[in-house]
């Protein structure tokens, strides 16, 4: 499959991979002609910092004037500039994160911090490797007014008129202060998807991380995997592609390899009709990026990867315009036997825990 990717795509894949093939990377470096475009693409897809970190860990790739398989000096300089800007923004957002979490903690509000802000410190060994654009929080509709009140008390203002009727507002609300933003979610995904993830269930199952100051709520590990997989899948069918979602996914699987309760996660998937999307994304993370999976998962679910999903990924990486796929956005209605089994299965697993 690697031979079907362009040199710039191979640079991106190598940056995300847990086990990059250095011989493939050297060939991609040698075949890259337009390094300005390549650097811009690494930045646009969110992995410029990861690529720089990879190159700097292999002297044969970063030492200049050795061979055509090493990066030109000016390319390294440009990548370092991109990385420094990412670090600067990360520091600013983490200062905001501490201020925001403290404001909620003072009011004893349960607010779940998820996605980028909750992953940067736990999955990456350096700040700036994973770009941050905002602070994402998951709340319940009934706490919307007080959450907004607390954010407004520290200078954030809504980017649009919020819905405060107590009814779920699936459209996230962005709160802005200067260059910082907090995105309020009462739903996990847009309507009309083939799966139905319950934001309330994920909120209720959230676990408290007591290592921080103040302590904050994060998604349960099973929900973290499901949310990351479904978000990565949706991103494949959007014009702007952020492959750092796959970087998150493979590092979740690696970091928490021994803690993942696969039975519990599959139970959550069955209830929400998310098993096809989730398992497909997990297999892609394994096949393309070296993410660890149990043998039984690989054996049973490898055939679930759709050719169209791989095509969408390849078109994004090879700078072709991907096509929208209506079948991936078709809403499924009704309860199935699978969902009922899933609910029963979750009860059994929770009793064990």
Name 334's Cβ contacts closer than 8 Å, sequence gap at least 6. Answer: none
Read off the pLDDT of each residue in 128-150 and give the average, rounded to a whole number.
Answer: 94
pLDDT of residue 166 exceeding 60: no
Asked if residue 353 has pLDDT above 50, the reply is no
pLDDT, residue 324, reads 55
When divided into structural domains, the chain yields a total of 1
User: At 130, which CATH number?
Assistant: 3.30.460.40
CA-CA distance, 19 to 24, in Å (whole number)? 12
Q: What is the mean pLDDT of the chain?
A: 87
Once rounded to an integer, what is the mean pLDDT over residues 265-284? Answer: 96
CB 344 within 8 A of CB 337: no
Q: Which domain holds residue 59?
A: 2-352
CB 139 within 8 A of CB 173: no
Q: How does DSSP assign 95-148, residue by residue?
A: HHHHHHHHHHHHTT---EEETHHHHHHHH-SSTTSS----EEEE--GGGHHHHH
What is the C-alpha to C-alpha distance for residues 322 and 320, in angstroms, rounded to an integer?
6
* Contact criterion met (CB below 8 Å) for 113 and 97: yes
């Amino acid at each position: 499959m690697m031979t079907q990717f362009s040199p710039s795509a191979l640079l991106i894949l190598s940056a995300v991979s847990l086990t990059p093939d250095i011989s493939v990377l050297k060939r991609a470096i040698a075949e890259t002609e337009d390094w300005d475009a390549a650097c811009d693409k690494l930045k646009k897809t969110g992995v410029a910092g990861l690529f720089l970190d990879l190159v700097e860990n292999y002297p044969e790739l970063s030492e200049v004037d050795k061979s055509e398989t090493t990066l030109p000096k000016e390319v390294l300089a440009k990548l370092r500039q991109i990385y420094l800007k990412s670090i600067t923004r990360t520091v600013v957002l983490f200062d905001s994160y501490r201020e925001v979490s403290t404001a909620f903690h003072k009011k004893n509000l349960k607010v779940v911090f998820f996605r980028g802000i909750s992953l940067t410190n736990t999955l990456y060994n350096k700040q700036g490797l994973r770009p941050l654009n905002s602070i994402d929080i998951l709340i319940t509709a009934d706490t919307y007014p007080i959450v907004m009140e607390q954010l407004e008390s520290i200078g954030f203002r809504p980017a649009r008129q919020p819905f405060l009727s107590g009814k779920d507002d699936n459209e996230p609300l962005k709160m802005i202060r200067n260059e910082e933003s907090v995105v309020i979610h009462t739903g996990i995904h847009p309507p009309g998807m083939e799966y139905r993830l319950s934001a309330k269930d994920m909120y209720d199952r959230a676990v408290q991380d007591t290592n921080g100051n103040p302590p904050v709520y994060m998604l349960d590990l099973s929900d973290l995997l499901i949310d990351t997989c479904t978000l990565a899948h949706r991103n494949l069918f959007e014009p702007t592609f952020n492959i750092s979602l796959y970087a998150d996914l493979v590092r979740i699987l690696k970091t928490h390899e021994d803690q993942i309760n696969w039975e519990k996660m599959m139970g959550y998937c069955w209830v929400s009709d998310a098993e096809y999307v989730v398992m497909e994304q997990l297999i892609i993370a394994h096949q393309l990026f070296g993410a660890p999976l149990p043998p039984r998962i690989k054996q049973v679910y490898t055939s679930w990867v759709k050719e169209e999903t791989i095509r969408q990924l390849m078109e994004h990486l090879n700078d072709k315009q991907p096509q929208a796929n209506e079948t991936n956005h078709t809403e499924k209605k009704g309860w199935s036997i699978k969902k009922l089994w899933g609910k029963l299965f979750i009860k059994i697993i929770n009793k064990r825990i």
